[in-house]
A and B are shown apart, each in its own frame.
Chain A
Amino acid sequence: MDFWILQAFYGISYGALLFLLASGLSLIFGVMRIVNLAHGSYFLLGAYVALTVIWVTDSWLLAIPAGALTIAIIGLAMERIFLRQLGFAPLRQVLLTVGFALLFQQGALDLWGGDNMFIPVPEYLNWSIQTGTLFFPVYRIFMIAVVAVVGVILWLVIEKTTLGAVIRATVDDAEMARGIGIDTSTISMGVFALGAFLAALGGVIGGGFTGVYPGLDFEVLPLAFAVVIIGGMGSLRGALIGSMIVGLMDNIGKGLFPELSYFTLYAPMVLILAVKPTGLFGRE
């Protein structure tokens, strides 16, 4: 029983991290119909920028917004200067993001070197709550809390505001949205920047327990894909459910069948895709 409780807790907190990464990916797909293969790079770069801010200012609290905002600006520039130029050409845009992923990878290696690094977690989060024989790290509880807050804000904005309605309209039918006077170009830009922001936020927070190292970008990317595929693309609710499923499957799979752990993660994903190409909660 203890095993299951702990695995569930670890799975959910890991899923929380994945939600930050994948919700942006999902929204970007919804609005622009492209898969951003540089999304893992945002995660990694966010963590690196945060690390630098910590080195300079010694403030972890400052590092979180600094990392996320810097990457949001990079994302915004990438969308404006390069992706926008291609107009509506999903395949070329996807390939372009691959090029950027390679560039970011090399840039990160040059600027921050090849060592494994950790984002130091402040003292007040670096302890565990003990109940019986179980230890629950407070940092992971903090992660779940952050994602709960971010999730609620996103949900409120998208479901309850005019801006949210405009975004939903663009996700459903960009052409029609343009037809009724919605500036889909600006929406794309905003959503792309938001996605980069969320991924970088995930990187900063995740850097406290997964560490920060070269190759992390391409390591988390497939996980983010797993999430949006299971949850369906362009759907926030799907991203949440998907990230919980992936987080739990990843942890439990690794615990039960270490030899097949990735297989247990990706094989169900393939099955879901085969049966319903738009994902469990995707809009057609």
Chain B
Amino acid sequence: MALKDRKKILTVMIVMALVGLFTPFANDFIRLLITQTLVLGILALSVDLLLGFTGLASLGQAAYLGMGAYLTAILVDRFQFGLGCDLSLILLMGIAIGAAGAAFFGLFAIRATGVYFLIITLALGMVVWGLANRWNSLTGGDNGINVMMRPNCGVDFSNDINFFLLVYIFFCLSLTAMYVLVNSPFGRTLVGIRESETRMRMLGYNTWLHKYLAFVIAGGFGGLAGVFWTHLNGIVSPEDVLLPISVDALLMVVLGGAGTLVGGPIGAAVVVFIREYLSTLVEWWQYILGGVYVLTILFLPDGLMGLMALVKTWRTDRSEKEGAEASSGQVR
């Protein structure tokens, strides 16, 4: 088991190292796509913590991305704050506002389970969207807020390579943090709750508190993704907090495989590729996106990561069968 885990970690590390080495030399467009994938990947990680490890399907994760994104944009726009080395403060504040938002919303949401949780998080997402859309004096309403400049603190992040590296570093940190988290006793308790909340409660665990903390942590990661989201796009608008982003985030995780951590970012890569790249080639790209979702849910309940496992068992099955046939031949 430990050996297998080590092998998996090594694979992920190699892949991430390759991404880090290759991307600075890729062309501008590809680099942009990869950066976007990593930002959404952080969001997907937060969804996976809830869906894959706690068994809570959140359909409002864009709310926390939105909080981080609007905070960043408002501070830059009003106070020119966060354009220098104070970026590090912004990152902390982004995490804090996402976590604080989730801490508040969680009071309402955590009581609900299953489909009800899905609906209440959707409703909470709509509350944030409603505020973003209508509170003109703060959020710029429909038009959103333009952020023309990226921060410059010795390293100039308006250079796309530097910005990529920043996002890349934080993605790797997030992935590591999540890995440590889900393998900690806290994370194992979450999985226990996913499997049987009643049983965990009987064993004396405070399941409400565990779910609540997971929700808050997920909100923090969402807020972090939001900070990058604003600087990546140069604009934040109510569309960024709207239902489709939340839906996307959830589907990325389902697509990649819930409860695997790396599944979410892989799903993010697929979605970004279809949305941004394929859409430049064919006009009916949304059929592909919709089709991929439908087929994944119908035939790959464990997502793309499940597909890999499926191929592996199929291969071992076959080699075992061949082995069995060979040995039976010898007997004859």
Q: State how many residues of chain B have any CB contact under 8 Å with chain A.
A: 43
Query: Which residues on the B side are within 8 Å of A29 (C-beta)?
Result: 115
Assess the B286–A96 pair: CB atoms within 8 A.
no
CA distance in complex: A69, B134 (Å): 37
Residue from B130, B136, B251 whose CB has the most chain A CB atoms within 10 Å: B130
Whether, in the assembled complex, B22 has its beta carbon less than 8 Å from a beta carbon of chain A, the answer is no
Q: How many A-B residue pairs have CB under 8 A?
A: 128
**Nearest opposing residue in chain B for A109, CB measure:** B286
Q: Given contacts A85-B298, A270-B127, is CB(A277)–CB(B112) below 8 Å?
A: yes
Interface residues of A: mostly helix, strand, loop or mixed? helix
CA distance in complex: A269, B136 (Å): 23
Whether, in the assembled complex, B314 has its beta carbon less than 8 Å from a beta carbon of chain A, the answer is no
* Chain B nearest CB, measured from A34 CB (Å): 7
Assess the B127–A92 pair: CB atoms within 8 A.
no
CA distance in complex: A258, B112 (Å): 31
Whether, in the assembled complex, B17 has its beta carbon less than 8 Å from a beta carbon of chain A, the answer is no
CA distance in complex: A102, B130 (Å): 22
Assess the A218–B118 pair: CB atoms within 8 A.
no
Interface positions of B from 56 to 107, Cβ below 8 Å from A: 57, 107
Q: Given contacts A35-B119, A82-B298, is CB(A261)–CB(B112) below 8 Å?
A: no
- By size class, the interface of chain A is 35 or more
Assess the A260–B291 pair: CB atoms within 8 A.
no
Assess the B57–A91 pair: CB atoms within 8 A.
yes
Assess the A273–B243 pair: CB atoms within 8 A.
no
Query: Which residues on the A side are within 8 Å of B294 (C-beta)?
Result: 82, 96, 99-100, 103
Encoded as 1 (CB less than 8 Å from any A CB) or 0, chain B from 99 to 141 comes to: 0000000011101101110111011101101110111110000
Contact of A259 among B135, B290, B293 (CB under 8 A): B135
Assess the B135–A98 pair: CB atoms within 8 A.
no
Whether, in the assembled complex, A226 has its beta carbon less than 8 Å from a beta carbon of chain B, the answer is yes
Contact of B137 among A33, A37, A107, A259 (CB under 8 A): A259
Assess the B123–A270 pair: CB atoms within 8 A.
yes
CA distance in complex: A91, B251 (Å): 11
State the 3 A-B residue pairs at the shortest beta-carbon distance, nearest first: A262-B130, A99-B293, A106-B286
